[in-house]
Amino acid sequence: MKFLVLNGSLTPPEESNTQKVVDRVIAEFNRHGVEVNEIVLRDLSFEPGVDRVRRDGVADDMTWVLKEILKYDGIIFATPIWWGTYSSYIQALMERMGYIDDWGIKNNFNPHYGKTFGIIVSGSDDGWQATAAKAFGFASYLGFTVPPDAFVSAVDDGMDIKSRKDPDDVIDIFVRNQIMWAKAMIDTKVGLLSQADEIDRTGYTSAPSFRKN
């Protein structure tokens, strides 16, 4: 089981409250023996758009990210609240992920089925619900499964936005739910069973797999 954090912080890691919360979440996953990798989007070189590659047809760093997403059992967005919503890096990522959705529609196969989704939101109190809700709607439309309590919210003083308590309890619930739902889908092959007429002896469908491209 592996998870990927896509960090949309607007500031360098040493200055980022988002990064501080991400570090705590990753530490909790590791405590459960689960591997988590992180990609900081501000460190990448990419072109905004809705395709797999740049407009000139050349692959960029976001092309690589789209391939990386397919290797994981769960995807977690991390973002500050900026003017009432997620950061421009997360928005750019979502736009580029639209390519996979279009590919899935054309090929009658959705490579996001069977993957969990969660979000880490840092910033002021105002707007975290709307920020998380928009991300959840996007994730569900693309085929991800959103478990209960699929968010961690924290403000600059280190307090949880929802309860005003230390976020350790919130992080614990978030991590446990992500792990439990991911395990359930891995064990039942729900991502494959939901869209395949037949499953061969290896457990893979006969549908075209984006993972192989």
Look at residue 147 and tell me whether its pLDDT is greater than 90: yes
pLDDT at 17: 87
Buried b (16+ CB within 10 A) or exposed e, 183-196: eebeeeeebbeebb
Question: What is the SS3 assignment for 165?
Answer: coil
pLDDT at 76: 98
pTM for this one? Answer: 0.84
Of the two residues 175 and 105, the one the predictor is more confident about is 175
pLDDT digit string, tens, across residues 29-57? 999 999 999 999 999 999 999 998 898 98
pLDDT at 191: 65
Q: What is the mean pLDDT of the chain?
A: 83
pLDDT digit string, tens, across residues 77-102? 999 988 778 999 999 999 999 998 88
Nearest to 49 by CA among 37, 40, 58: 58
- Of the ranges 35-44, 66-75, 198-207, which one carries the lowest mean pLDDT score? 198-207
pLDDT digit string, tens, across residues 148-163? 999 998 765 454 444 4
pLDDT at 166: 55
Q: Give alpha helix (H) positions in the chain.
A: 17-31, 61-69, 88-107, 128-141, 168-188, 190-193
Distances in Å between the Cα of 121 and the Cα atoms of 65, 74, 101, 130, 136 are 21, 17, 24, 11, 12
Alpha carbon distance 186, 119 (integer Å): 21
Supply angle C-alpha 111, 113, 114, rounded to 5: 120
pLDDT digit string, tens, across residues 109-141? 788 888 999 999 987 556 778 888 999 999 999
Place of tokens 């809705």: 50
Alpha carbon distance 137, 92 (integer Å): 16
pLDDT at 155: 60
Buried b (16+ CB within 10 A) or exposed e, 171-182: bebbbebbbebb
DSSP conformational letter for 49: S
Cβ-contact 155, 186 below 8 angstroms: no
